[in-house]
Amino acid sequence: MIGTSRLLLIVGLAAGVCATDAWAQSPGNPRGGAFAVQHPRRNEVNTRVGDQRARINQGVRSGELTRQQAHQLRTDDRAIKQQEHAEVRANGGYLTKGQQHQLNREENANSAAIYGDKHP
């Protein structure tokens, strides 16, 4: 399962980095600040990443996850977060619906990995 999520991360990162958007270069385009925090698509992705990090930390505290498992799961979450940052930069502060769906699929895979590691 983790192998599939890593492949999705690599493909998503490549697509996000290679994406160009003429609109992103236009004047008056919001590029961060309060807009970025309040953007609903970004907020959903960021909330999920935070929730999963909390699940990982809880798993370590309870003994359900080893430190090695937690490290790998955090690495996967960090890659998803880096992908989100790259896509937002490519789109002038926005995530498209397609990008949001892709990030959610990757978060779903990581969530399943967290559950699988916590409940062998």
List % helix, strand, coil for the chain (3-state, nearest 5).
80, 0, 20
Predicted pLDDT of residue 7: 52
pLDDT of residue 13: 47
Whole-number Å distance between alpha carbons of 48 and 86: 18
Q: Encoding tokens for residue 16? A: 């996000």
> Hey, where are the domains in the chain?
37-43+69-115
Rounded to the nearest 10°, the torsion over CA 108, 114, 115, 119 is 160
Between 19 and 115, the higher pLDDT residue: 115
Bigger pLDDT: 78 vs 1: 78
Name the strand (E) or helix (H) holding 96.
Answer: none
Work out the pLDDT band at 40, boundaries 50, 70, 90: confident
Q: Give the count of alpha carbons within 13 A of 113, CB side only.
A: 24
Full-model pTM: 0.65
pLDDT top residue among 31 and 95: 95
